[in-house]
Chains A and B, each alone.
Chain A
Amino acid sequence: MTNTPARNTKVMNRFDLTQRLVAGLKDEAVIGGIGNTNFDLWAAGHRPQNFYMLGSMGLAFPIALGVALAQPKRRVFALEGDGSLLMQLGCLSTIATLAPKNLTMMVMDNGIYQITGSQPTPAAGHTDIVAVAIACGLANSSWASDEDDFERLIAQSKRAAGPTLIGVRIDDKPGTGTTRRDPVQIRERFMHGMGVRQLL
């Protein structure tokens, strides 16, 4: 395994990619996984359609699946780290079964648990997460080769007949901001952003 597709991709930056995603959004939901993934989502500019996880490592894709099932007309993006996804690989099979076409998943893969001291994950260097996703039945899974390709894959996912997974190789930089850790306010604002609740 010395020539996996993962190694042919440019090593990008999480915050830069997150900014590129957010810049193109209107009313789409975005679920940010635990730690750096949602810190960078927060730093890219808070919006009520963003949901920030403060725990429950590995559940960004399942939470996004729930949102996608509840609101099939709304595009739902989910941002997850490689270490987080390793905690809940089974969810890829569940998502392949339900196949919501309004779901775009992104895996930020740096091969390390950056936030706990940059220890390598058990998958680092040999597990190809996009290949895992394809094997789970998510046919629209691919590595973004560079920033332009990342944006092209996002646009393509909006026209896809099923869910999309985009793998990105990222550097070892920490998150840019820090999400305000107020779970009730995060949830309340998100529900407002989803149009199911008015703020008090």
Chain B
Amino acid sequence: MAAAEQASSKDKAKDKSQDAATTWHGIVLQTLKRNEIKLVPYVPDRVLTTLIKDLHADPYFTTFPTAREEEAVGIVSGAWMAGMRGAVLMQTSGFATLANVLASLAVPYQIPLIMFVSERGTLGEFNYGQALVCRTMRPVLDSLAMEHHTITRLDELEFIADRSIKQAVTTQAPVALILSPLLTGGKTFDK
């Protein structure tokens, strides 16, 4: 019985490490950890569910929901200035609420704000409002000359995320990492 339990917990550990290497959320979590990003406030999204659950389960991270995305941006900005690195998780429509805080805090104060945006509004969107909101995201990022990448492939995720986090920190500039439905599967009408 004990041996069986041991074997099963070994299997679980194996699953976990496979997860870390083969799923997009496992790679994101490991990349955050490797870059010493401990503080992860978020406004949830269906696609981010597993990542959020795993962040909560890992004592390395301080992760919690906020009422609005700009609140989370304020929190990680304050934490960074006081020596703790953070990243914010959100959905496309949440990003659409951020133009003011990006233009008046993150960009002019040169704060390496790291954002993971789960992309809705494209590749099978069923809500017209989401499709329209999505179209505002890249023009806002471009208008502020902010670095952003749309991640579509699992084999490119670690490279893009790891390099972008390092670039944000060393150049003291915000970055948006957009998680495409091609990477995450997205949210579809039948789900």
Contacts and interface: CB of A to CB of B under 8 A. Distances in A.
Contacts of A59: 70-71, 73-74, 77, 101, 105
Nearest to A89: B67
A67 B82 CA distance: 5
A190 interface: yes
A93 interface: yes
A143 interface: no
A71 B75 contact: no
Interface residues of B, number: 33
Given A54-B104, A55-B100, A69-B62, A187 B82 contact: no
B14 interface: no
A67 B104 contact: no
Chain A interface residue bracket vs B: 35 or more
Nearest to A51: B81
A88 B97 CA distance: 13
B111 interface: yes
A67 to B, nearest CB: 4
Contact of A70 (B64, B65, B72, B83): B83
Contacts of B76: 66
Contacts of A70: 39, 78-80, 82-84
Nearest to A29: B82
B70 A93 contact: no
A90 B68 contact: yes
Interface of A: 29, 31, 51, 53-59, 61-71, 74, 88-91, 93-94, 97-98, 183-184, 186-187, 190-191, 194-196
Interface of B: 39, 41, 62, 64-68, 70-84, 86, 100-101, 103-105, 108-111
